[in-house]
Amino acid sequence: MEKENPDAGNDSVLTTVMPNGEKVPGGGVMNQEVAAKFFALRGDNFEKAVEDVKAHQLKVEIDGPFVGCWLLTQISYWNRDKERIVVLCENTVVSCKYDFVAMKIASVERIYLKTVKQMQEGQFTLPDNSVVAARLYRGVRLTWGVIEEQPWYQKWNPLNTEIPMATFTSHPVYGMTGMEPTERYNVESFAPSLKQALGNFPGATVVEDQPIVIESYAGVFSYIHNQSRLGFSRERGGVSF
């Protein structure tokens, strides 16, 4: 296997400088050389993956008709970025972890729109005493339960899969320098379609332009995880995972 030049296209320290001078790491400035390392962007990998999800995971009697699909970043409750194929149907949002190296489905999370209590759309924010780096992009959060009712040992357990919310933002390659923006990677393209689908379910409240709080204070492990883009299928120093 051919080894890469460790100094070429190394995006582990990339930052975007905001108008106020603040540097925002991870998912900021990206060029074509860096983007080429993401397996989802190669050839028709994304299209094949979506067809795989449609064929083996979507059930019209449960999900309803297909509406659209995006390649986004899902942010865990513990502030870790994970690449996801997000499929919107009339009744559900299907968030799929897809192994773009082996080209197979790794896991699927199905969110039933009838259970959603709130959709938030807005800029990310952090608690006042947090030392975690700010996020560049806007996002969308779906909530279908009361997070405050979760016991502390579940809220702070990264292995817990029962946190009743899902948070999405744009894929790191969206807005890449030197290329036209592709809406399939843009969370703000996903939001209007999601909002329209939720309109069929009276129990959901849509809140626009409300800050989305990421309850992270120090986050050393999430910082390393996000800076190294460990939640994405891509090449890493000659190794692919």
Per-residue pLDDT of the chain (241 residues; tens, 9 = 90+): 322 333 333 333 333 333 343 434 444 457 777 888 899 999 999 999 999 999 999 999 999 999 999 999 999 988 889 999 999 999 999 999 999 999 999 999 999 999 999 999 999 988 887 767 778 779 999 999 876 565 655 656 565 567 899 999 999 888 775 566 689 999 999 999 999 999 999 989 999 999 998 877 666 777 788 878 899 998 876 555 5
Measure the CA–CA gap between 85 and 74, rounded to whole angstroms.
Answer: 9
Q: Residue 206's pLDDT is what?
A: 93
Q: Residue 228's pLDDT is what?
A: 81
Q: Residue 36's pLDDT is what?
A: 85
Name the H helices within 132-232: 152-155, 187-198, 220-227
> 49: Cβ–Cβ under 8 A, 6 or more apart, which residues?
40, 85, 96, 98, 100, 103
Measure the CA–CA gap between 199 and 225, rounded to whole angstroms.
Answer: 36
Measure the CA–CA gap between 54 and 47, rounded to whole angstroms.
Answer: 11
The SS3 of residue 207 is strand
pTM score of the predicted model: 0.83
Domain 32-231 fold is: PH-domain like (2.30.29)
Domains of the chain by residue range: 32-231
DSSP H or E stretch at residue 167: strand 165-170
Q: Residue 155's pLDDT is what?
A: 56
By CB atoms closer than 10 A (0-12, 13-18, 19+), residue 199 is exposed
DSSP secondary structure letters along 115-149: G--EEEEEEEE--TT--SPP-SSEEEEEE-S-GGG
